Amino acid sequence: MNVRQKLLGGYLLVALMIAATALIAWRADNASAERAAAQEAAQLARGVAKDIAYGLPASAEDKIVTPLYYSQRGLGEYLQRMHTTQQRDVVVVDQGKFILGDVVEENVGTVFEHDSGNEVGLTIADGEPRVFVEVSADYPGGIKQVVVPMASTGGVTIGAIILEYTPLYDQMMTGARQAQRIILTSASVATVLVLLIGFLLSGSLIRRITALTTAVRVIRSGDYSHRVPEAGRDEIGKLARAFNAMAEQLERSAREILAKEYTDSILANAGEGICGVDTAGRIAFANEAAGRITGVGVSGLLQREAALLLPEAGDHLTAGTRESVLQRSDGTAVRVEYTNSVIEKDGRPIGAVIVLRDVSRQRALEYDLRHQALHDALTGLPNRKLLLDRLEHALSRSRASGEQIALLYLDLDGFKRVNDSLGHNAGDLLLRTAADRLTAVLRPHDTVARLGGDEFAVLLEGASPPVVEELTQACLEALAKPFVMHGREALVTVSIGVVPDAARYTDADEVVRNADVAMYAAKDEGKNRAMLFETRMHEQLLNRLDQESRLRAAVHRGELRLHLQPVAGVPDGRMHGVEALVRWQDPERGLQQPGSFIPLAEETGMIIEIDRWILREACHTVRQWQDHSPHTAPAWVSVNLSAAHLETADLTDQVAGALAATGLSPHCLVLELTETMLMRDVAVTSIRLQELRELGVKIAIDDFGTGYSSLGYLRDIPVDVLKIDRSFITGMVGNARQQELVSAVMQLGHTLGLRVVAEGVEDAEQLALLTVMGCKFAQGYHLGRPEPVGTLYERLNRPAVTTS
């Protein structure tokens, strides 16, 4: 047991003694209150006994006092009065324990048997008062009773008085509990104070003792700098001051003893080579690191001229830092950086210290970092930064010497398809192979760079126009050959933009930009070709950027217009539904047809926003038409969805939101998707279309017959409408084979329960043939051109002109 435990044990013993004393006082006070309550009750019972045995005092002098003991009526009234006014219940019994009087009249005349120990009988016999607890059916919890003898005027015991004193007992105990709480509270506070004082005092002493013992252990470990607080003037404080004085003396002695060993240890274990050179330029001291770096060991360095080992290191002991290649005796070489510091005394040099560092790995790492910063990690080719740097230097040389330079900008055609189908590993292998092929067909001094993704650039220096053309063709042919990756063969081509006379442009960025523009022109021309940059290409690009900017703002500025084209019944020609089409009211170029801006919208991703506008506007328009003129309103409206919109995660929510906002019934909305879009991923597409159909929306296949020859997928994709592409209708007249094909597709759609719509009906002959084939719906210029909503509404609601 430690000191603190002993101290705390003593204080705990004192606290327990205080608690025991408080408990004894509490018990004594409780017993005293119980005795006082019983005595008081007995005293009250004796007074009642006298009143009953002697009678109540007379109200007049001539009136005779009669004992209540002999008057059952008077006794009953007396007991009832005590019960009512003083809340005391009294039972009067005779010597045989027969009840003479009780508040409960039914008990009178019965034997009192609620004293389990016959306390009543014992009191009648010996005249001593007793207390007991009555437990009965009426008082299952028990009531406290006191019994005293009742004697006649002659002193003869004639019975007993039984008085309930539970209320008196409770009153006495309530007063006692206040004193008991004070006792317990005082004892608890005293106990806590004793324990707290003991804890604090023991903690203070133990902390000071612990500080001393800890300091002794630290000193024993060799750390002489440790000190302890010197607070207090008691014995522990004196001991702390004596300890500190001893530790200070030990610290001074240790510093003096270890100074030389410490210095020698530092020099010996230093990672850098350290040599001491005397005034004659010879090495007088060398550590292990210096011997390891130079390859001759410490013994090989001592007394050796520093100038022979490290050029200029011992030349007049000049200070400074230099770097050189040190040839070792084993034939290897190491690049070292060494610093020469002169040691002076009284203003004159007395020697020098040379510090050597092996920087071979550092320089190699720096080279690797520079290489990584300027080269592509996948192919090892120069990256965009290095290409621009070389191009700038080539431009400067070309302007000075007149040498011709050219830049090729290459972008692989179909790389994304390979990457998505065969995986990224195959894509990386294709890029590395493409880099190797380009390097193989170009000249050694040409720069091939990878700009990122599947884009490459080639800097041709000293290249006349014929050479540029020849090398460009070589690049086209090299990349057109099949690529074999993981046992699979893939075909890609390349589109090349060429800037043949790069020196006439301002800087490298402009040359790269122009080559990039020419490359996109090659892609627009059909890919797998090279295009020379022309100024008009840049102008076209600027116009495209301007159109893109204006198109982005078209939706927000309210420049989009909704046109509707009727879908008529066959053969009556009456409009049943409409197809929603978009036009752009360009402030600068007037009303634009979809072909002039939809491709740009699809390429830039704006098509999703345009699709959302058409969807909401079409639903709103048809709903209003149905409200104002239900007899001419179309039964449904078809809205085209783009491929990008179909792939958005919230498409179903957008459609549901448009229907809820406009109030259009879901059965009046048809969403049209092209056959090619539907077949991109049948599993995913089917799930998405099923979600839309659960809203009540109908699905239509647009341009049917242009994407896939197989018709079996119609069983797997949830569709409601089949729209036969206009290419089948256009050449149908006079072509029996094509008529049979259209008829077969129509019959297939009807068999599957689909609504079949023939698109592109341009004349009456086509309509007549469709009528014979059993076609029920058709769409085309012959039946109605796309027109603004207001125009179509007015035309269909115009009153018919009748002639008499």
**What is the rounded distance in angstroms from the CA atom of residue 437 to the CA atom of residue 443?**
12
Question: What pLDDT sits at residue 803?
Answer: 44
> Which residues, 6+ apart, have CB-to-CB distance to 119 below 8 Å?
130, 131, 132, 147
pTM score, two decimals?
0.45
**What is the rounded distance in angstroms from the CA atom of residue 248 to the CA atom of residue 56?**
102
**Backbone angle region of 376, left / alpha / beta, with phi > 0 → left and psi within -120 to 50 → alpha:** beta
**What is the rounded distance in angstroms from the CA atom of residue 749 to the CA atom of residue 756?**
6
* Cα–Cα nearest to 275, from 329, 210, 336, 195: 336
Amino acid at 272: E
Strand partners, 496: 410, 530
**Backbone angle region of 127, left / alpha / beta, with phi > 0 → left and psi within -120 to 50 → alpha:** left
* Cα–Cα nearest to 624, from 679, 571, 668, 594: 668
Mean pLDDT for the chain overall: 83
Q: What is the pLDDT of residues 98-113, one digit of tens each?
A: 888 888 888 888 888 8
pLDDT profile of the chain (804 residues), mean per 10: 66 79 80 81 85 72 69 82 82 86 83 85 88 76 85 84 82 76 81 79 73 77 75 74 78 66 71 84 86 85 80 59 81 84 82 86 82 87 92 90 90 85 86 94 93 92 91 93 86 91 86 88 88 76 70 81 94 92 87 82 82 93 94 94 82 92 94 76 76 91 65 72 88 87 88 90 91 92 92 85 46
Amino acid at 596: S
DSSP 453-497: TTEEEEEEES--HHHHHHHHHHHHHHHHS-EEETTEEE--EEEEE
Question: What pLDDT sits at residue 64?
Answer: 63
Q: Is 615 helix (H, G, I), strand (E, B) or coil?
A: helix
**What is the rounded distance in angstroms from the CA atom of residue 612 to the CA atom of residue 580?**
12
Sign of the alpha-carbon dihedral angle for 632, 636, 640, 641: positive
Q: Is 405 helix (H, G, I), strand (E, B) or coil?
A: strand
Sign of the alpha-carbon dihedral angle for 728, 729, 732, 737: positive
Question: What pLDDT sits at residue 804?
Answer: 40
Name the pairing type of β-strands 483-485 and 777-779. unpaired
Specify the DSSP class assigned to residue 375.
B
Q: At what angle do helices 465-480 and 424-441 cross, to 10 degrees?
A: 150
Question: What pLDDT sits at residue 408?
Answer: 93
Instruction: Please report which helix (H) or strand (E) contains residue 751, including its range.
Output: helix 736-751
Question: What pLDDT sits at residue 788?
Answer: 94
Question: What pLDDT sits at residue 292?
Answer: 86
**What is the rounded distance in angstroms from the CA atom of residue 774 to the CA atom of residue 722?**
14
* Cα–Cα nearest to 700, from 667, 728, 673, 668: 673
Question: What pLDDT sits at residue 577?
Answer: 94
- Pull the structure tokens for residue 58: 């007379």
Q: Establish how many alpha carbons lie within 13 A of residue 33's alpha carbon, considering only the half-sphere containing its beta carbon.
A: 20
**What is the rounded distance in angstroms from the CA atom of residue 66 to the CA atom of residue 56?**
8
Q: Is 277 helix (H, G, I), strand (E, B) or coil?
A: strand
Taking the CB of residue 495, how many other CB atoms lie within 10 A of it? 24
629 within 8 A of 797, measured Cβ to Cβ: yes
Phi, psi of 79 (to 5 degrees): -65, -40
Q: What is the pLDDT of residues 717-753, one digit of tens each?
A: 788 898 988 888 888 888 888 888 889 889 988 888 8
Instruction: Please report which helix (H) or strand (E) contains residue 401, including its range.
Output: helix 384-401
Specify the DSSP class assigned to residue 106.
G
* Token pair 């909401």 in the structure block, residue: 616
* Cα–Cα nearest to 637, from 672, 613, 668: 668
Question: What pLDDT sits at residue 417?
Answer: 81
* Cα–Cα nearest to 678, from 656, 705, 650, 659: 705
Question: What pLDDT sits at residue 298?
Answer: 86
Sign of the alpha-carbon dihedral angle for 11, 12, 13, 19: positive
The CA dihedral of 742, 748, 752, 756, to the nearest 10 degrees, is 10
Question: What pLDDT sits at residue 97?
Answer: 84
**What is the rounded distance in angstroms from the CA atom of residue 315 to the CA atom of residue 312?**
5
